Structure 1
Amino acid sequence: MSASRSESRLQRLLPAPLNIPPREWLRAAIGALLGLFLAGWLTSMAFGTGIALHLLGPLAASAVLVFAVHSGPLAQPWPVLGSYAVAGVVGLAMRQSFGAELWVAAAALGISILVMCLLRCLHPPGGGVAVSAVLADSGLSAMGDRLLEPVLLNALILVAVAVLYNRLTGVCYPKGAAPRKDLHHTHDPLPSERVGIRGEDLDQALGELGEFVDVTRDELERIILATEQHALQRSLGGITAASVMSRDVQFASPETTLEQAWRMLASHHLKTLPVLQHGKLVGIVSLSDLVGPAMLRGRFSWRGLFSRKAIRMAQVMSRRVISVSSQHPLERLLPLLCEQGLHCLPVVDGDQLVGVITQTDLIAGLKRQLLSRTEGSGQRVPAL
């Protein structure tokens, strides 16, 4: 018992593991090495080795942020550049006014934090720049106001290397807000956003927390949505497209006429038709694809049917078809049929069309899963 208690106490003392793969460690380490070396080398070429080496401390801390914690709000280009400029100005002003004393360096640090927060450019290494400017050696102090030049040059080079290196290694930097999907060009939120966590909920929660959280709201929202996706995958219990798809598929060919397609959609109460040629899926046609050509032909008449050239599906079908396999997990069908505005997903195994999944099929599958889970728990199900 005592051994288990000791082990539990030891685990509480240990830091939480970093959720970063080892490959990312190496990527960040190489990037920080390149960024610090290039900034230090170019600054030494322009202002001398002594000045460049004196300013490397804050720069090294910035390199850790922009390469290893690149998605955080403190690591974005504006905090880096803005904090270096603010801290350099405050440090120089405090040194010229009060001298190179310890209390002056501490005061410069405090004032820099206030101004950085006001200008939304909080960046921890900026505090090191302010202290370095106050406690500068004789070589740096002799530069006077020109000390801002190597400070800003360091920041500019580091940010430029970070943008180039991060993007070359597959990392989106700087981090911008994710564009909102607007398929229908209305003010309504997406169907997946109408129930559950919203952006204003995150703003309120962060405000109630009363502390600084080193993650942007967009990043936090993406983390929560990804967590919900994994929870949904677990709750659906491995249901695949094969479980909910319609197998008796009604389809057209590239030579099917406009009138034939209309009759097929009407008789089977469908909104889309897969288009097959020699047994392979080559396109898909929907009601919206047929409305335009039908309106161009004007009002139908028997004379018009015989005198006008028939419109074939090859002329109106969409050739870029989004399809899934029969083993596609059900939870991954939700964004396709809800957010991307698709009404029908062909199910293809190899080159063979084996079924289709409509929004109705998806709703029926979710209802069946809800009923089975509730029956297992003994709870009463509300009428659907």
Structure 2
Amino acid sequence: MPASRTDRLLQWLLPPSLNIPPTQWLRAGIGALVGLFLAGWLTSLAYGPDIALHLLGPLAASAVLVFAVHSGPLAQPWPVLGSYTLAAIVGLAMRDGFGPGLGVAAAALCLSILVMCLLRCLHPPGGGVAVSAVLADPGLTALGDHLLEPVLLNALILVAVATLYNRLTGVRYPKGPAPRKDLHHTHDPLPSERVGIRGEDLDQALEELGEFVDVTRDELERIILATEQHALQRSLGGITAASVMSKDVQFVSPETTLQQAWKLLDSHHVKTLPVLQDGALVGIVSLSDLVGPAMQQARLSWRGLFGRKPVRMAQVMSRRVVSVSSQHPLERLLPLLCEQGLHCLPVLDGDVLVGVVTQTDLIAGLKRQLLSSANASERRVPAL
């Protein structure tokens, strides 16, 4: 049913949701209060209350950005500090060269935007700083070129408070690029990055868009990857670890010897063995854990003439085990087995080991899903 005229009017008038949880509203509000108050108070102590109060307008706008829109490119420290510095210099130069006036203030704003874009420090309140410098009242005019000092002091205090407050409240600021996981220390992209959207695809799309997007490239990539993850979850149709796991689990105990573990790995053609003690999972051993001790025992030495103590799994096993539940969805197993270097995931129901999911199990489950999707598409009757 088409939307009514009233509905279309309301959609046009009402902006879309900001996608900011209410708890973040309060966090941002308190942070802006603290940042603006501290900057204004310390600047008033250094330069007098009149100077501090006249500079609060642009600073309040900056506080909204660094506390409420902290992940955006306009809210990062360099845009704040760079824009305040450049805008103040441009405003002072325009006022000294042409005097105060509306036309001069507008020209200073235009020139500030050009310089901020050139030096990658675009920050909207910087335009207010440039205009304030041109239209300064007698108190600010008396400072002359020293007006740059309280402007920079305000910006430095605000950025320092934002960095401390945001991190104390669980927000990463400044927003740097996410660390890249590189378990193999090679130049290859991660398995999840070899097919699908790549960084150069984003760069090309942003270039073709030809306009400013108020989100960092890394944030945009995270949004797209999260969207792909939700689409993958929908397409996999609720397949869980219980659907693909191996139930006949081969395991060892902490007292199992190195030779016994080798025989299990060889006879069952597996690469990983869970370690159980009294039915509880206490560790895991992989082929790579056993290679070193095996090579050590193969070396000839005078101690070997008198016999060697057997190497037991308690000595070589990894005690930090990544496990999943039987209801763990298949799409959440993918990053564990593809990117984190894990070859086997123990599956627990409570504290009881009920199976394991290996990379082979995962591939078999994905193959089955792909075949099911292909068969379903072939059964569809084409529309006439």
- Once residues 367 and 225 of structure 2 are traced to their aligned partners in structure 1, the CA distance between those partners, rounded to angstroms, is 22
Secondary structure at 2:46 match in 1:
helix
Aligned-residue offset at 1:14:
2.1
User: Cα RMSD (Å) of the superposition?
Assistant: 1.8
Which string of whole-angstrom CA distances, capped at 9 and with x for unpartnered residues, describes residues 265-307 of structure 1? 000000000011111111100000011111111269xx96992
Q: Which residue of 1 aligns with 2:277?
A: 277
Q: Which residue of 2 aligns with 1:136?
A: 136
Q: Which residue of 1 aligns with 2:322?
A: 322
Q: Compute the TM-score of the two structures, normalised by the length of structure 2.
A: 0.95
- Once residues 245 and 2 of structure 2 are traced to their aligned partners in structure 1, the CA distance between those partners, rounded to angstroms, is 57
Q: Which residue of 2 aligns with 1:114?
A: 114
- Once residues 3 and 243 of structure 1 are traced to their aligned partners in structure 2, the CA distance between those partners, rounded to angstroms, is 44
Q: Which residue of 2 aligns with 1:73?
A: 73
- Once residues 143 and 307 of structure 1 are traced to their aligned partners in structure 2, the CA distance between those partners, rounded to angstroms, is 87
Secondary structure at 2:345 match in 1:
strand
- Once residues 351 and 16 of structure 2 are traced to their aligned partners in structure 1, the CA distance between those partners, rounded to angstroms, is 48
- Once residues 174 and 309 of structure 2 are traced to their aligned partners in structure 1, the CA distance between those partners, rounded to angstroms, is 55
Aligned-residue offset at 1:106:
1.1
Q: Which residue of 2 aligns with 1:163?
A: 163
Q: Which residue of 2 aligns with 1:363?
A: 363
Q: Which residue of 2 aligns with 1:98?
A: 98
Secondary structure at 2:65 match in 1:
helix
Aligned-residue offset at 1:117:
1.4
Which string of whole-angstrom CA distances, capped at 9 and with x for unpartnered residues, describes residues 17-66 of structure 1? 11111111111111111111111111111111111111111001100100
Secondary structure at 2:324 match in 1:
coil
Which 4+ stretches in 1 moved above 6 angstroms?
Answer: 303-306
For this pair of structures, how many residues does the alignment match? 378
Which sections of structure 1, spanning at least 5 residues, go unmatched? none
Q: Which residue of 2 aligns with 1:187?
A: 187
Aligned-residue offset at 1:3:
8.1
**Percent identity at matched positions?**
84
2:367 partner letter: K
- Once residues 168 and 29 of structure 1 are traced to their aligned partners in structure 2, the CA distance between those partners, rounded to angstroms, is 15
- Once residues 80 and 304 of structure 2 are traced to their aligned partners in structure 1, the CA distance between those partners, rounded to angstroms, is 70
Aligned-residue offset at 1:16:
1.2
Matches within 5 A, 1:112-261: 112-261=112-261
- Once residues 330 and 379 of structure 1 are traced to their aligned partners in structure 2, the CA distance between those partners, rounded to angstroms, is 25
- Once residues 3 and 243 of structure 2 are traced to their aligned partners in structure 1, the CA distance between those partners, rounded to angstroms, is 50
2:374 partner letter: T
Aligned-residue offset at 1:211:
0.5
Secondary structure at 2:196 match in 1:
coil
Which sections of structure 2, spanning at least 5 residues, go unmatched? none
1:367 partner letter: K
Which string of whole-angstrom CA distances, capped at 9 and with x for unpartnered residues, describes residues 119-165 of structure 1? 11111100100000000001100110111111011101111110111
Q: Which moved more, 1:3-12 or 1:350-359?
A: 3-12
Secondary structure at 2:145 match in 1:
helix
1:174 partner letter: P
